[in-house]
Chain A
């Protein structure tokens, strides 16, 4: 466990050594600012309604870009060999990298509070849904990052990792929509697996334990698979 923080520090620092962090954050802020303005004009309402959905869509596209290098780069450059032959457990490496990417995600999302600031200056927003939405955003970030991390550990090509990560997240997002087209356990399962349904209640100001458990357990499962996958070099 002690090495989690060592790995975390290095990974987080390396985001800011490279242009990736700056590019991703700027793209995200420009895009979300644009959609915030658009939604505000459309709804004429002091809330983040609508904006958060478009923000979520951009997170879905950009999180895999954050996570793509985590393992793919190490495998390609061979640093995985020095890393894995030092006295650090596979879990420490995976969890440290996860926390670093999640932190960057949070750093990326936090500046959107400026929108909230705007709303309070020019209107009187209801803070309940706003706070719950941000709790939701962070929980969802954990899930997105763990998907990206798993994908990155499966390939040594960063571009492949990003593309497959984005596709997986989109599938995870839309799979819930399919539940509208039928009844029964199958559609019910799809609804449960899809992220959108769980996310929606956060935007309405509800922090439902079921949704929190959904995000946390799904994240934990993906991290577990990632640890196993990193370990698998030992029995492949």
Chain B
């Protein structure tokens, strides 16, 4: 079994890593030459964040936070273009799709009946997505092509 704790049924770092690895293998590093190298170091600020909410029996958010370089690199890899050909709109769309794919796979490990919202992207230096009252339950932070990338999963306790 993968590292799902019986009591909470919440994904672990190991589960999140497995999902992220598959996204990298499919789109961002198909040749296996540019993996996401986990360092555990959280940079002070990011230039872009993509987030997606999961609602229902379990409520929370998946967040991908990156430098502009990493977000542009991701868009270029997705679109099979050179980084200097990528528009700002491409970057936002690609980051949204990235968090959408990770979010959907995270949702499949949560209690049945959860819904995936549409992604939300903010491109602005220092921008951080925060949800008061939400707790971070897993986080993968590292470097991709020398640029910072952090992927985290947040759980929000909701009454009723």
Indicate, yes or no, whether A interacts with B: no
